[in-house]
């Protein structure tokens, strides 16, 4: 499955445990120090920025989503936002499709409207209320606030790369994205057989914010296996937007680098 379709990967949820990977903060699947309204503001800002690129480059190729144009990317995430809105409202898995409008001139407005509707819905819900997710228990509404904020951030990065604009994902948002991969997405990938396992525990450090995570088999020693980069670069590495040989990423050993090159940390 393409990394660009992650949020629609809801057919089955793996039964994951905290023994495969975890963040050093000790929190499981939380939004951390960034409050929900800040995350939703980030979501809206990123969606509006991406939608704004449609006028100048609707057919720009999205490098890390093969075969997609910018219009395809916007249609994808607009549908995902409507789907996540329905999941949050009902608290249950939803299998309905949400196609884009027939008129491409209205695509950007449709996308922004989807983000606003989603933000409005989750703002009125109890963030700790029960809700179906594809993460580990406990399943809560806030999962979707984090997930859609992160999807918007990565897809804005995709869109701006496609149109020649340089964009840097916020470090605090990227940190949440790393935690999501470590605590939820990579264990699920392993449980579903979508990725080879790591042979050793790896200490992951975001050197710009001084935050650490551990990824790998819990019984392994992480003292000599580590990877280091900025939070934004680490997030892009996990989502295969940055490759293991990128000079901004530093591995302690070539063997670790090789394993990470084969791993599929996220859908």
Q: DSSP string of 84-137?
A: HHHHHHHSS------PPPS-GGGHHHHHHHHHHHHHHHHHTS-TTSB---SSSS
Reading the block at residue 231, the tokens are 């939070």
Q: What is the pLDDT of residue 20?
A: 39
**Where are the chain's structural domains?**
34-167, 173-267
Domain 34-167 has CATH 1.20.120.450: yes
Which CATH number applies to 173-267? Answer: 3.30.1050
* Closest alpha carbon to 242 in 224, 226, 261, 256: 261
Q: What is the pLDDT along the chain (267 residues), one digit of tens a residue?
A: 344 654 344 333 333 323 334 444 333 335 456 899 999 999 999 999 999 999 999 999 999 999 999 999 999 999 999 999 999 999 999 999 999 999 999 999 999 999 999 999 999 999 999 999 999 999 999 999 999 999 999 999 999 999 998 889 999 999 999 999 999 999 999 999 999 999 989 999 999 999 999 999 877 665 678 999 999 999 999 999 999 999 999 999 999 999 999 999 999
Matching fold, domains 34-167 and 173-267: no
229 has which bridge partners? 206
Q: DSSP string of 159-222?
A: HHHHTT------HHHHHHHHHHIIIIIHHHHHHTT-SPPPSS-EEEEETTTTEEEEES-TTS--
Reading the block at residue 80, the tokens are 């995902």
* Closest alpha carbon to 92 in 132, 150, 138, 144: 132
* Closest alpha carbon to 74 in 3, 155, 150: 155
């Amino acid at each position: 499955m393409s990394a660009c379709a992650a949020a629609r990967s809801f057919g089955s949820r793996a039964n994951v445990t905290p023994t495969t990977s975890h963040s050093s903060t000790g929190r499981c699947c939380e939004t951390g120090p960034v409050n929900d309204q800040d995350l939703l503001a980030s979501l809206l800002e990123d969606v509006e920025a991406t939608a704004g690129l449609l006028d100048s480059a609707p057919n720009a190729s999205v490098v890390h989503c093969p075969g997609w144009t910018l219009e395809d990317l916007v249609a994808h995430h607009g549908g995902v936002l409507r789907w996540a809105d329905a999941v949050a409202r009902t608290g249950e898995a939803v299998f309905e499709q949400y196609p884009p409008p027939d008129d491409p001139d209205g695509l950007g407005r449709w996308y922004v409207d989807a983000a606003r509707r989603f933000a409005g819905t989750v703002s009125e819900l109890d963030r700790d209320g029960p809700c179906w997710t594809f993460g580990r228990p406990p399943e809560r509404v806030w999962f979707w606030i984090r997930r859609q904020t992160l999807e918007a951030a990565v897809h804005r990065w995709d869109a701006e790369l496609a149109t020649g604009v340089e964009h840097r994902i916020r470090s605090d948002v990227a940190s949440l994205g790393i935690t999501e991969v470590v605590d939820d997405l990579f264990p699920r990938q392993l449980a579903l057989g979508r990725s080879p396992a790591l042979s050793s525990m790896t200490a992951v450090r975001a050197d710009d914010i001084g935050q650490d995570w551990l990824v790998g088999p819990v019984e392994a020693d992480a003292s000599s296996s580590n990877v280091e980069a900025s939070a934004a670069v680490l997030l892009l590495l996990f989502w295969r937007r940055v490759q293991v040989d990128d000079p901004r990423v530093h591995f302690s050993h070539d063997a670790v680098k090789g394993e990470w090159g084969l791993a599929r940390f996220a859908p």
